[in-house]
Amino acid sequence: MSTHASPGCHVLSLQLVSWTGDGDKADGDSCDPWPFNKKCDPYFSICIDKKQSGSVPQWKNVCSYQSEVRTSVYDNDDDVDFPTNSQLNQFYNPSSFRQEEKWIGANVYVKVTENDANSNDPIDNHVFDLPGRPLGQQNLWAYPNSQDQFVHHWIDVPNNHGVNYARTRSIMSLKYKPVCCKDYYNYDCSVYCVPQAGLYTCDPLTGDKILEPTETTIKDTITTL
């Protein structure tokens, strides 16, 4: 395998899909108590960090991919479907983030808050664990050198329960897609290879050098036959 001074390079794309709740806040009280309708007015704070080993917190506001940003407020909505290709206040859905290092996975922190005229109260927190290596598919996010030949796809992370799910019934879904930068390969985007005309090409998944046949090797093959 070819090596390079950089430890790797990848782009992580993240898309918010949906959120549902039952009209209750983290403390168990209704977002809008009687006689008003019970539905919440949620907004979502998002922080995207490199994958941590061991236990992870319920929330971070400073992260390596994207520090805290906020979406729009969804008035009287306990069943949010996030629109795609749209600016949701501070977050564009979907968003992409380039990192000059290999892909090791990520943690996505989402804080759901009730927008209220008097005070903004917490509804729930969601923590998503995005694995660094897909089970059973070694090179899922690698792709050939030509950017017209992607073989990756969005990976669904559905039905993530909030940390206060017993009280809030807060469920959230998203999608993500890690992609190697140009000339980087393997499942973790750590292998650097630039094809050299007449010498070698790069395996589109692993980045291994594939030697091109030379005039001498062709003659040797003909002689052997």
Q: Residue 42 is part of a domain; what is its CATH number?
A: 2.60.40.3510
Residue 102 pLDDT more than 70? yes
Give a yes or no: residue 199 inside a domain. no
Query: What amino acid occupies position 201?
Result: T
Residues spanned by the domain of 80: 10-193
Residue 8 pLDDT more than 80? yes
CA distance 219 to 198: 16
How far is residue 160 CA from its own chain's centroid? 14
Is this model's pTM higher than 0.85 or not? no
CA distance 160 to 155: 14
Residue 48 pLDDT more than 90? yes
Give a yes or no: residue 213 inside a domain. no
User: 179 exposed, middle or buried (CB, 10 Å; 0-12, 13-18, 19+)?
Assistant: buried
- Per-chain mean pLDDT for the chain: 84
Give a yes or no: residue 204 inside a domain. no
User: Which pLDDT score, from 0 to 100, does residue 152 have?
Assistant: 64
Residue 68 pLDDT more than 80? yes
Q: Number of structural domains, the chain?
A: 1
Higher pLDDT, 222 or 174: 174
Residue 174 pLDDT more than 60? yes
CA distance 89 to 54: 33
Out of 24-28, 45-49, 160-164, 219-223, which region has the weakest mean confidence (pLDDT)?
A: 219-223
Name, in order, each residue with C-beta under 8 angstroms of 2's C-beta and a sequence gap of 6 or more: 191, 192, 193, 194, 202, 207, 209
